[in-house]
Amino acid sequence: MTPPPPESELAVELRGITKRFPGTLANDAVDLSVRRGEIHALMGENGAGKSTLMSVLYGMERPDAGTIRVEGRDVTFASPSAAMAAGLGMVHQSFKLFDSLTVAENVVYAAEPRRFGLVDRAAARRRVRELAEEHGLAVDPDARVGELPVGLRQRVEILKLLHRGARTLILDEPTAVLTPAEADALFAVLKSLTAQGRTVVLVTHKLREVLEGSDRVTVLRDGRVVARLVTADTTADEIAAAMTGRAVELDRVHASGTPGEAILSVEALGTDAVHGVDLGVRAGEIVGIAGVAGNGQSELIGALAGLRPVTAGRVTLRGEDITHASAAERRAKGLAYVPEDRHAVGTAPAATVAENLAMGHHRTSLSSRGLLPPAAVRAHARALVERFGVKAATTEVPASALSGGNLQKLLIGRELAHDAPLLLVEQPTRGVDIGAIQNIHDQLIAYRDAGHAVLLVSAELSEIRGLADRVLVMYEGRVAASYTREEADERTLGLAMAGAAAPAPEAAEATD
Amino acid sequence: MFLDSDLLMSALRALTPILLAALGGALCERAGVFNIGLEGMMLLGCFTSVATSWFTGSPWLGVLAAALAAAAYSLILAVGAVTLKGDAVVLGIAMNLLAVGLTSFLLRTVFGVQGTFDDPSLQGLPLIGGFSPLAHLSWAAVAVAALLLSRHVWGLRLRGVGEAPDAAATLGVRPATYQYGVILLSGVLCGLAGAQLALGNVTLFTENMTAGRGWIAVVAVMLGRAAPLGVLLAALLFGLAEAAGFRLQGLGLPQQATDAAPYVVTLGALFLTTARRRRTPRPSGARS
């Protein structure tokens, strides 16, 4: 190890930070040293204590023990604004912006240039333009923030911090909502910021961007620091092993399926946000749909699941027309569905694990002359919990007590248990830990290999590439491109997601 | 012609209480507080202004006392909704109901009468240029509120607080401070509205004399989209309806029917705004 640098070279130094919440030790004597001018990645699975640590640093939580030094001075922050005054700035995962206000108003809010007590709007606009030009963060100062795409909103957040003179920027999962191209642009901005002597702390669980974009890595697990790594000297496997505590096989590409008869066929489907979509999924095949969020994927799946009205086209499931069938009719004809929003749509958080697992099955296997025998419900729940490795104290705890990964296992297990010929699955591993991701992927592959058809929507390109036998890319409500697994490298998909794909002749005939 | 300058003048007189109260409601709305206690604060203002003017002989002291009393009364909403995080709708309704009972009770204990207190020696507000001084004040208040909201640092911060209090808080702006401020201000404005009603439009106090004007002000806030100029236009609409009601009464229509005019307009306005809102759903996350 290199000797510790002199204090002034540390932008942020946390020593022995301990934070307890009822029942959990979120941070256990955590030390974190961030050098001035570096991009420092803070990694860890959900619940490892990253967010708590950053909340402590940013004045949102008081530590039970430990000291904070910023630029060599001991500090205690009573609020985020105190942290800001000391030169820190945080871009939260869910942006803290005012949608109805303009970009300039958002940037100068609570630090306004004034003339005669009024907001000097010309100066505010000028300030935004200057900062934008200086840091390559181009955005129209007069645009309403609510009308901007996510990538630009993130720029507004960064501009806001720069306007306040932030010297250390903390970004919480900044790329979760970005296209690969937008993420690359973000990292270019971050590098130029550090080149000027600013410091970036990147909170993330994405290995690829940490390897490409960071200088050093601190890995947390169960509230403790388990590794301090220099990015240039480490590998994805080493970081993943530190995060999970065991060796993990990353980015596995599973064996291809052996497609059989057509199960789902969609012709010229139209809804409010989907136009002329043709696609087909065969038995023993996983078809992946890639695309930046908001390009019609959710609407397409919603229409196929019977949750959104279809305005044009035809959908057949195993030869039966289900274009206008209700969700219940579709399920009866052989469709299962894992929705994107597992908290609001996929499960009922206040209901017990057993009740959640019974949902959907209440019409079929569990129903006994219109009643649900409690013993059958319990047995069903116990069987699924065991089969899919859901960690729950008992099957009688509410679903809201489960972690995100366990809730997702519950949801996927419940839907797979229908043994339906067609499975629609959206974002199966969003916000799920690396260990659970593997389990979920294995389940989906096993389901396919049992001869079922799977239509998979995911924002994670590695997931699509690892699982799908064919990949469709949606852009602005249409299928912009269609690739075989071999053709679907990250660059090709990234271009198509950004709307730059050559027109795909095979998209039209993918129905078979 | 039916719509002549006389009608407009009487509309301008009728709209003052509604306009003052609606401005207060609009400021609360922009700060994220749904204030439906306007009616109760206004009614308390009516009684306080009459009682103070009668005892002191000064309608100006009556106006001042009305503003202070209604502001104090508004603390129920401020403490309940902002500090204790209670439901603003429930609190507002409670304030309105309490004000009816409280003023009727005080009317009996202070003046020993029921129904109406009316005395020739009770001093009302003088007219300046044909209008009550509070009417002039209300027009100035529209301009000031419009400028504050759109251009002033305070207005920008207030709009931010109303839209995303968490975001404002992380930037060091305390939402509660702004919310207390506008609720107290709405109390002052409703107190003035009550004084205008009891010492300006007429010179007397009658039980429940606001007769729904505070509720109409709530509708004016919605109809005017909580913007000062929009609220002015909405209040003008109700003022015209009220003035037209008087006019129709003069033409021999039964009073019960003409008195209903502002409320019919209110219902129509509510229907139209909700219908418009249904047709144009907001883009997700965006506020028009």
Q: What is the pLDDT of residue B276?
A: 65
pLDDT digit of tens for each residue in chain B (288 aa)? Answer: 456 788 888 888 889 999 999 999 999 999 999 999 999 999 999 999 999 999 999 999 999 999 999 999 999 999 999 999 999 999 999 999 999 999 999 999 999 999 999 999 999 999 998 899 999 999 999 999 999 999 999 999 999 999 999 999 999 999 999 999 999 999 999 999 999 999 998 999 999 999 999 999 999 999 999 999 999 999 999 888 888 888 888 888 888 888 888 888 888 888 887 776 654 433 333 333
Question: Which residue in A96, A109, A147 is closest to B156 by CB distance?
Answer: A109
Question: Exposed (0-12), middle (13-18) or buried (19+): which is A452, by Cβ within 10 Å?
Answer: buried
Residues A441-480 pLDDT 10s: 999 999 999 999 999 999 888 889 999 999 999 998 999 9
B250 touches chain A (CB under 8 A): no
pLDDT tens column, A474-497: 998 999 999 998 898 888 888 888
Closest approach of chain B CAs to the CA of A159, in angstroms? 14
Average pLDDT estimate for A279-304: 92
> Positive or negative CA dihedral for B232, B233, B236, B238?
negative
The DSSP secondary-structure symbol of A7 reads G
Residue B177 belongs to domain spanning: 17-211
Substitution target in A77, A99, A144, A160 with the highest count of B β-carbons within 10 Å is: A99
Q: Does the structure show a pLDDT above 50 at A4? A: no
In order, the DSSP letters of A353-416 are HHHHHHTTTTTTTT-BTTB--HHHHHHHHHHHHHHTT---S-TTSBGGGS-HHHHHHHHHHHHH
**What amino acid occupies position A19?**
K
Residue A152 has pLDDT above 80, yes or no: yes
Rounded CA-CA distance A253/B82 in Å is: 54
- CB-CB neighbors (< 8 A) of B286 in chain A: 99-100, 144, 146-147
Whether A323 contacts A310, CB under 8 Å: yes
CA distance B22 to B219: 8
CA distance linking residue B169 with residue A3, whole number of Å: 40
Q: How does residue A505 score in pLDDT terms, banded at 50, 70 and 90?
A: very low
Report yes or no on B255 lying in a domain: no
CB A338 within 8 A of CB A425: yes
Residue A393's pLDDT band, with cuts at 50, 70 and 90, is: confident
Tell me the two tokens of residue A395. Answer: 């099957």
Cα–Cα distance measured from residue A10 to residue A36, given in angstroms and rounded to the nearest whole number: 5
Q: How far is CA B27 from CA B19, B186, B239, in A?
A: 12, 7, 21
Domain count, chain B: 1
Residue A475 is inside which H or E element, if any?
strand A470-475
Under an 8 A CB cutoff, do B156 and A114 touch? Answer: no
Is the pTM here over 0.90, yes or no?
no
Would you call B151 an interface residue with chain A, using a CB distance cutoff of 8 Å? yes
For A99, which of B153, B172, B287 is closest by C-beta distance?
B287
CB distance B40 to B90 below 8 Å: no
Q: What is the mean pLDDT of residues A66-70?
A: 95
* Chain B contact present for A147, CB below 8 A: yes
Determine the Cα–Cα distance for residues B31 and B17; give it in Å rounded to an integer: 22
Whether residue A57 has pLDDT greater than 90: yes
Which among A22, A15, A3 has a CA at the least distance from the CA of A56? A15
d(CA A335, CA A305): 8
Distances (CA, A) of A271 to A27, A268, A325: 48, 10, 15
- Model confidence band, residue A281 (pLDDT cutoffs 50, 70, 90): very high
Contact between residue A212 and residue A187 where contact means Cβ atoms under 8 Å apart: yes
Contact B28, B183 (CB under 8 A): yes
Number of residues assigned to chain A = 512
Q: Of A58-72, A165-179, B50-64, give the lowest mean pLDDT range.
A: A165-179
Question: Do residue A99 and residue B167 have CB atoms under 8 angstroms apart?
Answer: no
Closest CA to A161 of A192, A128, A188: A128
Instruction: Please give the interface size between A and B, counted as residue pairs whose CB atoms are below 8 Å apart.
Output: 72
Cβ B191 vs Cβ B70: under 8 Å? yes
CB of B252 less than 8 A from some CB of A: no
Residue with tokens 């890319």: A473
Instruction: Please indicate, yes or no, if residue B283 is contained in any of the structural domains.
Output: no
- For residue A230, how many C-alpha atoms fall within 13 Å in the half-sphere facing its CB? 5
Which residue carries 């306080």 as its tokens? B48
| Pair A205, A43: CB distance under 8 Å | yes
Q: With CA atoms as reference, report the closest residue to B249 among B16, B9, B7.
A: B7
Task: Let me know if residue B84 belongs to a domain.
Answer: yes
pLDDT of the residue at A250:
64
DSSP B78: I
Asked whether residue B61 is domain-assigned, the answer is yes
Assigned domain for B87 exists: yes
Determine which of A106-110, A404-408, B144-148, B233-237 has the lowest per-residue pLDDT on average.
A404-408
* Inside any domain, residue B1: no
CA angle A48, A210, A429 (to 5 degrees): 55
A292: left (phi over 0), alpha (psi -120 to 50) or beta: beta
Q: How far off is chain A from B203, nearest CA to CA, in Å? A: 40
Q: What was the pLDDT predicted at A455?
A: 97
Average pLDDT, chain A: 89
Query: In chain B, positions 154-213, which contact chain A (CB-CB < 8 Å)?
Result: 156-157, 159-160, 163-164, 166-173
Q: Do A119 and B285 touch (CB under 8 A)?
A: no
Is residue A499 over pLDDT 90? no
pLDDT at A504: 47
Q: How far is B284 from chain A (nearest CA, A)?
A: 8
Q: What is the mean pLDDT of residues A152-173?
A: 94
Q: Which amino acid is at A219?
A: V
Structural domains in chain A, sorted by start: 7-244 (3.40.50.300), 251-334+420-512 (3.40.50.300), 345-418 (no CATH)
Q: What is the model's pLDDT at position A461?
A: 85
Examine residue B143 and state whether it is found in any structural domain, yes or no: yes
DSSP-derived 3-state class of residue A221: strand
ipTM greater than cut 0.90: no
Residue B206 belongs to what H/E stretch?
strand B205-206
User: C-alpha angle B208/B210/B213, rounded to 5°?
Assistant: 140
